[in-house]
Amino acid sequence: MSPPVLSVRDLSVIAKTDQGPQTLVDRVSFELNRGEILGLVGESGSGKSMTCRAIIGLLPSSRISISGGSVILRGKSDLTHLEESDMRKVRGGDIGMIFQNPSSHLDPVMSIGGQITESIRYHHQVNRAEARNRAIEILHQVGISDPAQRIDDYPHEFSGGMRQRAMIAVALACNPEILIADEPTTALDVTVQAQILRLLMDLREKRELSIILITHDLGVVAQVCDTVAVMYGGRICERGPKREIILDAHHPYTTGLIDCQPSGGSHRGLVKTIAGQPPSQGSMPTGCAFHPRCAHATKECAQTEPAAVDYQPNHMLACHHPIGEINEGGRA
């Protein structure tokens, strides 16, 4: 069997603060296979974006750094040890990234086509005409109609949905194997959101693209993901195949998130929001970070951090008192 396209092992990120180092991402592990869509979910501040920024070596400030773990690309290079010049080749070349707000990531004074061809020519030895033809083809693939006419347009001449398509085109310009999409549909209306998700699924189908999709919306996860990792307080608290996470979650935080969805399982109770606030930086609870909000918490939860256990080969859980029956046959 071929190795995972991306293997993240115990990745940790810390911030230097006046109060000392604070952990933003805590021993995060997951694998991403070819053509797989992994959903990274959790409330705002849980560490989803920081995890992905660490993977591609784009941490937001010099006070924030990777403090441990590895990010193995195709079973070979550990990205956490690459020089910035090599990392620049990985970004775009192997891993593309798109964000919630295309306007702040597209260059407003460069044409859409110029931004795509710039990336193609940075990574590949092709002449201007070839790069332009490739750019037209990519714009066509991401669903821009009449791409030969629109290629010289500037971002402000595109609608919000088209700008998001254009950002995907820039990210895909060099045919990366992995796309990291950080809340790519959050700012879009429902119809355009559905179109962009459809596009991501098409790209997975046609290019065997592997996608990490960050979202706080479990409806999006249910629609497009194969695997789901749920983050809380910088840690992954449960990870498994989508079906198991949506229909048979065992972590109280996961079940809480599911119950908060408009179409959530009402059999779990009438709770529509998880009471309390997520932990903020610098005030991480002891033991299980979720214990102040957890209806199942015991003294043990407040004192001892639950270990992350693969109780089935591909279902990981970090909880002292999981909900529901657990088949521990595959417990590691």
d(CA 43, CA 292): 16
Other C-beta atoms closer than 10 Å to the C-beta of 246 total 19
Task: Tell whether residue 48 is a contact of ligand ADP (CB under 6 A).
Answer: yes
Task: Tell whether residue 121 is a contact of ligand SF4 (CB under 6 A).
Answer: no
Binding to ligand ADP (CB under 6 A) within 278-307 occurs at 281
d(CA 258, CA 175): 35
Q: Which stretch binds ligand SF4 (CB under 6 A): 6-14, 52-60, 183-191, 294-302?
A: 294-302
- Closest among 231, 172, 233 to 207, alpha carbons compared: 172
> Shortest approach of Mg ion to residue 231 CB, angstroms?
10
Task: Tell whether residue 321 is a contact of ligand SF4 (CB under 6 A).
Answer: yes
CB 48 within 8 A of CB 257: no
**Residue listed under structure tokens 């595959």:** 330
Name which position in 39, 42, 96, 240 contacts ligand ADP (CB under 6 A): 42
Other C-beta atoms closer than 10 Å to the C-beta of 159 total 10
> Shortest approach of ligand SF4 to residue 142 CB, angstroms?
40
Name which position in 71, 90, 139, 294 contacts ligand SF4 (CB under 6 A): 294
Q: Which stretch binds ligand ADP (CB under 6 A): 37-45, 83-91, 254-262, 266-274?
A: 37-45
- The order of strands in the sheet holding 6-17 is 20-32, 6-17, 64-73, 77-78
> Shortest approach of Mg ion to residue 98 CB, angstroms?
13
Task: Tell me whether residue 50 or residue 245 sits nearer to Mg ion (CB atom).
Answer: 50
d(CA 245, CA 323): 12
Binding to ligand ADP (CB under 6 A) within 252-281 occurs at 281
Query: What values do phi and psi take at 7, rounded to 5?
Result: -130, 110
- Closest among 268, 245, 234, 256 to 317, alpha carbons compared: 245
> Shortest approach of ligand SF4 to residue 287 CB, angstroms?
7
Which residues sit at the interface with ligand SF4, rule CB under 6 A? 251-253, 288, 290-291, 294, 296-297, 301, 306, 319-321
Residues that bind ligand ADP (CB under 6 A): 15, 24, 42, 44-50, 60-61, 64, 281
